[in-house]
Amino acid sequence: MTASWNRIPRVEHAAEVALGWRGRALPDVPRPLLAHGLGRSYGDVCLNPEASLLHTPGLDRFVAFDAATGRMTAEAGVSLDALLRFAVPRGWFPPVVPGTRFVTLGGAVANDVHGKNHHQAGSFGDHVRALTLRRSDGQVLEVTPENTPDWFAATVGGLGLTGLIETVTLQLAPIRSAWMRAWSQRFDSLDAFWELNTQSEREWPYTVAWIDCLNPGAGGRVGRGIYSGGRHATTAPRKDAWHERRRSIPLDPPVSLVNRLTLRAFNHLYYRQPVHATPRAVHHLPWLFPLDAIRHWNRIYGHNGFYQYQCVLPPAASKDGVQALLDAIAASGQGSFLAVLKTFGDRAAPGLLSFPRPGATLALDFPEKGRDTERLFARLDAIVQEAGGALYPAKDARMPTDVFRQGFPRWEAFAEYVDPEFSSGFWRRVTA
């Protein structure tokens, strides 16, 4: 049974097919279809209940690479992990990476993913130069931002609904080292965060903050945390070798290991971890993908799974809105291991349904607690809607229709491009 990363919802599919080669007709399985990459979405954008999934990781070939310009064309099932292995030793880096490298290029396009460098680099789609898109009527469209801007805007951030992306042409960014220079610093309130952020975003290409959403900081309000910034280094340290010490959660614990006690302790310890105000050398893998060192970390939530809640609030409403969200979470007594706060840059994202937009984005995970969780989310939704914000479809298993439509006002224009033989659990849910 194929599930998404948070294991909610649990659904059955009519058929699941592993694709092996590009350039072939779509398989003869029950319609509608949906591509499924590495299932790192937290919800049903990558699921197609009672219908069919096309697994893309077998489309894992490079197609062409220009070593002089760093332009890479690859099949859509190539993972960022594979791309990094190829590109880093050759002095190139994916221009945008999410918090895990185990995503496919197709998935990165379809959710128009963002990384810690959004304020300088924009989203993944900003670096896509071309796509090939297979439609159910047999056409294969060569989609580029110049020649077919409408199809490009629909397919980038298009949640897999415009058809099967077979290849992606991506402009890589030059680097001079596999290492980074990174620093971190504690802040004791959201005010302190905003101050630090304005300063750091100007100087550091990668920035992100972790928030302790359980233990109050200055003034007795929730909002303390750790800010970090980084950039690609120009040199490697003397001891250049780095080996990932991989750990794995081997199986589901009988009960979720995430409860009030462990959450409070974790947040407290995390806040107290040593910080390094002076930039030091760190390898790009642990710095950009800290969770990738623990395979199957999603299992700590047990069989019931968990939710991610990621929203973006426009700039004018960011300060008050983020504080209101954190206060509501603290008041609910439900907390998150990983509350991540970051501001997006000002550029408009390329896709009709792209999530990144100017403002602040807050991402949190919550154990599945039935009605309590529902009530908390309703409260958070109200704050997001009031602020004129949006929720991230890639991290959603439950947003109500009106929240979607308000957050993605161009959804009807987008719907024109949806392939009549493609659909997803998410799409049926928010357009029902």
Give the footprint of another protein on this chain (CB under 8 A): 18, 20-23, 58, 61-65, 67, 75, 86
- Asked if 159 is part of the footprint of ligand FAD (rule: CB under 6 A), the reply reads yes
Q: Give yes or no for residue 127 binding ligand FAD (CB under 6 A).
A: no
83 counts as binding ligand FAD under rule CB under 6 A: no
Cα angle: 124, vertex 113, 47; to 5 degrees: 130
- Residues 109 and 58: their CA atoms lie apart, in Å, by 17
Distance CA(75)–CA(89), nearest Å, equals 20
Cβ closer to another protein: 65 or 242? 65
Please identify, using beta-carbon distances, which residue of 44 and 212 lies nearer to ligand FAD: 44
Q: Phi and psi at residue 117, in whole multiples of 5°? A: -105, 20
In the list another protein, ligand FAD, none, the entry touching 65 (Cβ below 5 to 8 angstroms by class) is: another protein
Q: Does 291 bind ligand FAD (CB under 6 A)?
A: yes
Closest CA to 40 of 116, 127, 122, 101: 101
Indicate whether 275 belongs to the interface with ligand FAD (CB under 6 A): no
Options 64-72, 101-109, 194-202, 215-223: segment touching ligand FAD (CB under 6 A): 101-109
Q: Work out whether 35 is an interface residue with ligand FAD (CB under 6 A).
A: yes
Rounded to a whole number of angstroms, the minimum distance from the CB of residue 216 to ligand FAD is 27
| Nearest CB to ligand FAD, comparing residues 189 and 206 | 206
Query: Interface with ligand FAD includes 339 (CB under 6 A)?
Result: no
Q: Does 256 bind ligand FAD (CB under 6 A)?
A: no
Mark the segment that binds ligand FAD (CB under 6 A) among 157-165, 186-194, 223-231, 264-272: 157-165
Q: Which amino acid is at 319?
A: K
Of 32, 94, 160, 358, the one binding ligand FAD (CB under 6 A) is 160
Least Å distance, CB 430 to ligand FAD, is 13
CA distance 242 to 110: 32
Pick between residue 308 and residue 373 the one whose CB is nearest to ligand FAD.
Answer: 308
By CB under 6 A, name the one of 8, 33, 34, 222 that touches ligand FAD: 34
Q: Quick one: which segment of 94-102, 170-178, 314-322, 372-380 binds ligand FAD (CB under 6 A)?
A: 94-102
> Least CB distance from residue 166 to ligand FAD, whole Å?
7
CA dist 131 to 67, 75, 143, 210, Å? 20, 10, 5, 35
Is position 104 an interface residue for ligand FAD (rule: CB under 6 A)?
A: yes
User: Please, which of residues 371-410 interact with ligand FAD by CB under 6 A?
Assistant: 394
**Structural contact between residues 44 and 2, judged by C-beta atoms closer than 8 angstroms:** no
Q: Are 52 and 18 in contact (CB under 8 A)?
A: no
How many residues contact ligand FAD, by CB under 6 A?
Answer: 33
Angle between helices 315-332 and 190-203 (to 10 degrees): 130
Other C-beta atoms lying within 10 Å of the C-beta of residue 211: 29
* Among residues 33, 38, 51, 153, the one that binds ligand FAD under rule CB under 6 A: 38
Token couple for 171 = 């402009």
122 is a contact residue toward ligand FAD (CB under 6 A): no
Residues interacting with ligand FAD, by CB under 6 A?
Answer: 5, 34-41, 45-46, 56, 76, 98-100, 103-104, 106-108, 110-111, 113-115, 159-160, 164-165, 291, 394, 424
